């Protein structure tokens, strides 16, 4: 997917530099043309010979030597993307302050291409206000920062500051620079999270849905170019909308009305919410007191949002539902596909460890209305979202 793309990889002095060799190999495998620049300190951590062999280009380290002068301006113009990985605390500070005492910094300052950095340092250094200030400064200058990961650090401590894994860096580059946008111009509607059905002013009937799956789907649709509206139940997710229109609702009825209102103009609707099937018939206006030894709450059925949209669906619209089952999974998923007039049903079984509510992973099978079945392994929810949207694009927008 990176065929012919030109990537300038800057490596700085950090233990994580050993991963740069693997990163170069992965980028080359994707078809990219990779040139490597190293700071003098980086050479203490990984050998230029390894990197020149893997990249099939000489590694550049100095502005000039006795024989030649490295044209830093042309390097920055040659690249489609400049990637600094790992980015040390020291080079970060120099970037933030416009310093230029080596080839890498000279290329950075004269680069006309987008610049992406993958920081790597110990947790305390990472969290120091000066480092965080420098990160904000380079972001304000238009650079993109690939988030650091949590895990074992060079110091032996466990914490934040690890460089993102090479796989994650490659994925980031693909998504942000090299992914085509097959859903450009399309409108997508997503429901996510639980609903809370009030019993009285302080109590409700809810469920364990976190909203993570729907949020990941909304993000994936956005990355593929769609204009996304997310109707989100009362989730505790800490979200940064990032161009996604988020409508917050509480009850199944509010979600129903918001979904219906948005559906007419949507090309794609994905119902990932765990909507309450029943709601108290007469929620109390005042707090219920414990005056009785038993208490009965009469429940009434909520409206099935997916089914209602299925009844209104036009031939141009693609409707996707979920099925969360504990038994007879395939039978129930296929039943929902027909009953709700959906185009696709994404099945997750609570029998599968690492699938369903609250966890960061999911294991899905997608059933298509004409009988096609797509099975996937257990994956983090953002990868699952990618699988769902890839399948949808392949079936309806390729």
Catalytic positions are 207
Question: What's the count of helices (H) and strands (E) in the chain, helices before strands?
Answer: 13, 21
Site string for ligand CTP, 249-288 (x = CB under 6 A): ---x------------------x-x-x-x-----------
- Residue 35 contacts ligand CTP per CB under 6 A: no
Gap between the Cα atoms of 226 and 281, Å rounded: 38
Tokens read off for 78: 């040659």
What separation in angstroms does the CA of 398 have from each of 172, 182, 221, 391, 394? 23, 8, 15, 10, 5
What is the footprint of ligand CTP within residues 178-197 (CB under 6 A)? 191
- Nearest distance in Å: CB 346, ligand CTP: 8
C-beta of 165 vs 277, nearer to ligand CTP: 277
Gap between the Cα atoms of 359 and 380, Å rounded: 9
- Nearest CA among 7, 88, 103, 12 for reference residue 54: 7
Question: Are 184 and 264 in contact, with CB atoms under 8 Å apart?
Answer: no
Count Cα atoms within 13 angstroms, Cβ side, for 169.
Answer: 31
Contact window for ligand CTP (CB under 6 A) among 40-48, 320-328, 363-371, 374-382: 320-328
- Nearest distance in Å: CB 70, ligand CTP: 57
16 SS3 class? helix
- Nearest distance in Å: CB 333, ligand CTP: 9
Task: Please name every residue paired with 299 in a beta bridge, in sequence order, or none if there are none.
Answer: 280
- Nearest distance in Å: CB 295, ligand CTP: 24
Using Cβ positions, the residue closest to ligand CTP within the complex turns out to be 305
C-beta of 55 vs 191, nearer to ligand CTP: 191
C-beta of 61 vs 365, nearer to ligand CTP: 365
C-beta of 7 vs 333, nearer to ligand CTP: 333
Please enumerate in sequence order all residues whose Cβ is within 8 A of that of 330, keeping only pairs 6 or more positions apart, or say none: 347, 365, 367
Task: Report the residue from 323, 337, 364, 384 that binds ligand CTP according to the rule CB under 6 A.
Answer: 323
Gap between the Cα atoms of 369 and 337, Å rounded: 7
Tokens read off for 176: 């942000």
- Nearest distance in Å: CB 379, ligand CTP: 19
DSSP category for residue 200:
E
**∠ Cα 247 252 253 (to 5°):** 85
Tokens read off for 260: 């219906």
- Nearest CA among 258, 270, 260, 277 for reference residue 214: 270
What is the footprint of ligand CTP within residues 295-314 (CB under 6 A)? 302, 304-306
C-beta of 95 vs 344, nearer to ligand CTP: 344
Contact window for ligand CTP (CB under 6 A) among 99-107, 225-233, 318-326, 384-392: 318-326
C-beta of 293 vs 327, nearer to ligand CTP: 327
- Nearest distance in Å: CB 105, ligand CTP: 51
- Nearest distance in Å: CB 219, ligand CTP: 18
Question: Are 283 and 276 in contact, with CB atoms under 8 Å apart?
Answer: no
Task: Report the residue from 10, 86, 310, 321 that binds ligand CTP according to the rule CB under 6 A.
Answer: 321
C-beta of 148 vs 305, nearer to ligand CTP: 305
Task: Report the residue from 126, 215, 263, 322 that binds ligand CTP according to the rule CB under 6 A.
Answer: 322
Site string for ligand CTP, 334-373 (x = CB under 6 A): --x-------------------------------------
Question: Are 324 and 331 in contact, with CB atoms under 8 Å apart?
Answer: no
Task: Report the residue from 37, 79, 183, 324 that binds ligand CTP according to the rule CB under 6 A.
Answer: 324
Q: If binding means CB under 6 A, how many residues of this protein chain bind ligand CTP?
A: 15
Residue holding tokens 């300190």?
41
Residue 28: count other Cβ atoms within 10 Å of its Cβ: 16
- DSSP letter string over 96-147? HTT---SHHHHHHHH--S-EEEEE---HHHHHSHHHHHHHHHHHHTT-EEPP
Gap between the Cα atoms of 47 and 64, Å rounded: 19
- Nearest distance in Å: CB 319, ligand CTP: 10
Q: What are phi and psi of 279, to 5 degrees?
A: -135, 145
Q: Which residues bind ligand CTP (CB under 6 A)?
A: 191, 252, 271, 273, 275, 277, 302, 304-306, 321-324, 336
């Amino acid at each position: 997917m990176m065929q012919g793309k030109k990537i300038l990889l800057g490596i700085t002095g950090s233990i994580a530099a050993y991963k740069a060799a693997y990163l170069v190999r992965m980028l080359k495998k994707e078809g990219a043309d990779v040139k490597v620049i190293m700071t003098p300190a980086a050479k203490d951590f990984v050998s230029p010979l390894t990197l020149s062999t893997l990249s099939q280009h000489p590694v550049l380290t100095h502005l000039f030597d006795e024989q030649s002068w490295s044209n830093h301006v042309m390097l920055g113009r040659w690249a489609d993307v400049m990637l600094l990985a790992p980015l040390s605390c020291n080079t970060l500070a120099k970037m933030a302050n416009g310093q230029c005492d080596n080839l890498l910094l000279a290329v950075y300052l004269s680069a006309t291409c987008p610049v992406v950095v993958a920081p790597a340092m110990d947790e305390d250094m990472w969290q120091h206000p000066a480092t965080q200030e420098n990160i904000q400064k380079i972001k304000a200058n238009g650079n993109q920062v690939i988030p650091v990961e949590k895990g074992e650090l060079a110091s032996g401590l466990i914490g934040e500051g690890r460089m993102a894994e090479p796989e994650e860096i490659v994925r980031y580059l693909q998504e942000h620079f090299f992914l085509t946008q097959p859903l450009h111009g399309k409108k997508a509607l997503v429901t996510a999270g639980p609903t809370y059905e009030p019993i009285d002013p302080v109590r409700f009937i809810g469920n364990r849905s976190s909203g993570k799956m729907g949020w990941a789907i909304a993000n994936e649709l956005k990355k593929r170019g769609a204009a996304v509206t997310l109707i989100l139940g009362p989730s505790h997710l800490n979200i940064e909308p990032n161009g996604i229109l988020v409508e917050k609702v509480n009850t199944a009825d509010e979600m129903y009305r918001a979904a219906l209102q948005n559906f007419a103009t949507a090309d794609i609707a994905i119902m990932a919410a765990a909507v309450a099937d029943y709601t108290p018939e007469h929620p109390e206006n005042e707090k219920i007191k414990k005056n009785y030894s038993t208490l009965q709450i009469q429940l009434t059925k909520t409206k099935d949002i997916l089914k209602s949209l299925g009844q209104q669906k036009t031939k141009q619209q693609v409707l996707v539902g979920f099925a969360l089952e504990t038994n007879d999974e395939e039978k129930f998923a296929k039943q929902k596909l027909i009953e709700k007039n959906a185009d696709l049903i994404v099945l997750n079984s609570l029998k599968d460890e690492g699938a369903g509510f609250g966890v960061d992973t999911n294991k899905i099978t997608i059933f298509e209305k004409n009988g096609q079945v797509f099975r996937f392994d257990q994956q983090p929810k953002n990868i699952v979202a990618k699988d769902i949207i890839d399948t949808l694009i392949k079936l309806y927008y390729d």
